Amino acid sequence: MNRRIPNGTYGGVRGRGLAAPSYSIRVPVDSWNRLEGEKMRIALGADHGGYELKEAVKTHLERRGYEVRDFGTYSTESVDYPDIAVKVARAVAGGDFALGILTCGTGIGMCITANKVRGVRAALCHDTYLARLTREHNDSNILTMGGRVIGPSLALDIVDAWLGAEFQGGRHARRVEKIREIENLEGEGAHGEKGTTC
């Protein structure tokens, strides 16, 4: 099942090199299902700064048939974003969820924290162009956004663009594999050509 998502921006700038109003993205709703007929499972999380945006994303995904688990927070009461980010990151890295979406005030803290978990490739995106490319080129598995930076309408377009894109493989697969190699090397405590340890 495909849906066409109107998109008035390209690379964050309206009308740059394209007739922006006619630009659209094909979104295969079930493109990431691992088994025929299985719902894609998506992990969500937010701190107080991203709570309202997370709620909008959750409703949006549930209406489209995704299986969603909310890892918190559950109100606008102040919390520490690393506590939420690590839960979602571990759930995605462990294979319990295909993808994750994290929101905080800017999206930056969530992104930094999630990328500390081995196997996570989190990307901060505030436009649909980057959302699509981070899936196609970087095989990102967690999307982060800032609830104090973008509004819910744009955020939902970003979510749709991200979920609708697929990793292209090829030369990009080689580069992602190099990221994994660096991650594994750092995880072992090795640094530099000689493999010295801290």
CB-based contact 96:77 (threshold 8 Å): no
CB-based contact 103:110 (threshold 8 Å): yes
How is residue 13 annotated by DSSP?
Answer: B
Q: Read off φ and ψ for residue 83, nearest 5 degrees.
A: -65, -35
Three-state SS at 100: strand
CA distance 154 to 126: 8
Active site residue 104: yes
Neighbour-count burial of 109, counting CB atoms closer than 10 A to its CB (0-12 exposed, 13-18 middle, 19+ buried): buried
Total residue count of the chain as it appears in this document: 198
Three-state SS at 44: strand
Identify the active-site residue in 137, 172, 191, 198. Answer: 137
Tell which residue, 103, 109, 100, has the closest CA to residue 55: 103
For residue 147, what are its two tokens? 């609830």
Identify the active-site residue in 48, 104, 111, 125. Answer: 104
Annotated catalytic sites, by residue? 104, 137
